[in-house]
Amino acid sequence: MALILGLESSCDDTAAALVTSDRQILAQAVVGQNEAHRPFGGVVPEIAARAHVEILPDLVRAVLADAGKSVADLDAIAATAGPGLIGGVMVALLAGKGLALGTGKPLVAVNHLEGHALSPRLVDPDLEFPYVLLLVSGGHCQLLEVRAVGEYRRLATTIDDAAGEAFDKSAKLLGLPYPGVPQSSGSRWTAIPRRFPCRDH
């Protein structure tokens, strides 16, 4: 049974997990950056990348400690290699490369979108190919036929903007605080502002 350290930093969440080859998650940790990006109403790639650099080393130490494992126990290191915000992607990928080089363990470069496409099989190992997947992730909104590992057919995609991007932009136009989701305020949700920014045409 292989033990794999997974690293993810493709947008504004920094994540690390220890996963076995039989799909057991021994430890995981995720740190978000909402507070850092809130003043700007959306994710700022440079801020996200710098935060990943600060957060990732402690996150790796934390998941290893939580599982009672050391780097020597690893059989491989996996890291997101794209697509995503390139500055962020490079943090986990370079950290993974450094760990792989330093330990002599193999590095598995993971395609972010392929990870989403195969994630249903992580929770349902009996899920058979092919299956249809709605992939909604950051700048991507696609309907895919997942035929096998490494074999996909795009059935449909947005032609202008992804749902996540449109959601964030709409929330900003409506004057909602970042992230543009219902904000808790005591008993229920914060009221939507009555006055919205508008443009004269």
- pLDDT band for position 184 (cuts 50, 70, 90): low
Q: Which of 31, 34, 50, 7 lies closest to 183 in space, CA to CA?
A: 34
Q: Is 184 helix (H, G, I), strand (E, B) or coil?
A: strand
Give yes or no for residue 158 having a pLDDT over 90: no
Tokens standing for residue 148:
């096998």
CA 100 to CA 96: how far, in whole Å? 6
Peptide bond into 177 cis (omega under 30): no
Distance of alpha carbon 89 from its chain centroid, rounded?
Answer: 10
CA 188 to CA 41: how far, in whole Å? 23
**Angle between helical axes of 86-103 and 45-67 (0-180°, round to 10):** 40
Calculate Rg over the CA atoms of the chain: 19
pLDDT at 179: 78
pLDDT averaged over the chain? 86
pLDDT in tens, 18-75: 999 988 999 999 999 988 988 887 889 999 999 999 999 999 999 999 999 999 999 9
Whole-angstrom CA distances from 160 to 6, 18, 139, 166, 179 are 32, 37, 10, 10, 22
Give yes or no for residue 201 having a pLDDT over 70: no
Maximum alpha-carbon separation in the chain: 63
* Top CATH class, 3-111: alpha beta
Q: Which amino acid is at 26?
A: L
Cα torsion 120, 182, 29, 25 to 10°: value is -30
CA 37 to CA 126: how far, in whole Å? 40
CA 43 to CA 50: how far, in whole Å? 12
Domain ranges of the chain: 3-111
